[in-house]
Amino acid sequence: CLWGDGCQGILDEPAAHLMQGCCSVGAEMLDEDEAMLVAALGATLEPEQLQHHAEAVEHGFFSDDTRTNTRVVDGACIFFNRPGFPGGVGCALHRAAEDAGE
């Protein structure tokens, strides 16, 4: 994985400027335990940490009730903060873990 270091993404055309990498399709959950963990961690994020916080509050983190994939919002995973977001670009969960020293 070259995320943030030259990844062209996985769209039909190279799109390194979007900085999405494979986040353009959301994240697939391994099982219900992982889905529960992702939901619990996501619930701890503040609007300053998660660009699509309002969308998450209103519609949840997952694409449907099976909770097997994260919701895609505006062409990328709901947890993906886009370039220009004041909280920083990239996965909000990963950024929060780094901020917490994990």
Residue 55: inside a domain, yes or no?
yes
Indicate if the pLDDT at residue 4 is higher than 60. Answer: no
Residue 14: inside a domain, yes or no?
no
pLDDT (0 to 100) of residue 2: 55
Residue 56: inside a domain, yes or no?
yes
pLDDT (0 to 100) of residue 23: 75
Coil, strand or helix at 90? strand
**Residue numbers of the domain that contains 36:** 26-99
User: pLDDT tens digits, residue range 37-91?
Assistant: 999 999 999 999 999 999 999 999 999 998 999 999 998 999 999 999 999 998 9
Enter the pTM of the model: 0.85
Indicate if the pLDDT at residue 34 is higher than 70. Answer: yes
Please state whether 33 falls in left (phi above 0), alpha (psi between -120 and 50) or beta. Answer: alpha
pLDDT (0 to 100) of residue 79: 96
Residue 18: inside a domain, yes or no?
no
Confidence of residue 5 (pLDDT cuts 50, 70, 90): low
User: CA 28 to CA 63: how far, in whole Å?
Assistant: 10
DSSP secondary structure of 20-77: -GGGGG--B-SSHHHHHHHHHHHHT--TTT-TTHHHHHHH-SBSSTT--BBPEETTEE
Q: Which residue has the tokens 């903060």?
A: 81
Domain count for the chain, please give it: 1
Indicate if the pLDDT at residue 22 is higher than 70. Answer: no
Indicate if the pLDDT at residue 10 is higher than 70. Answer: no
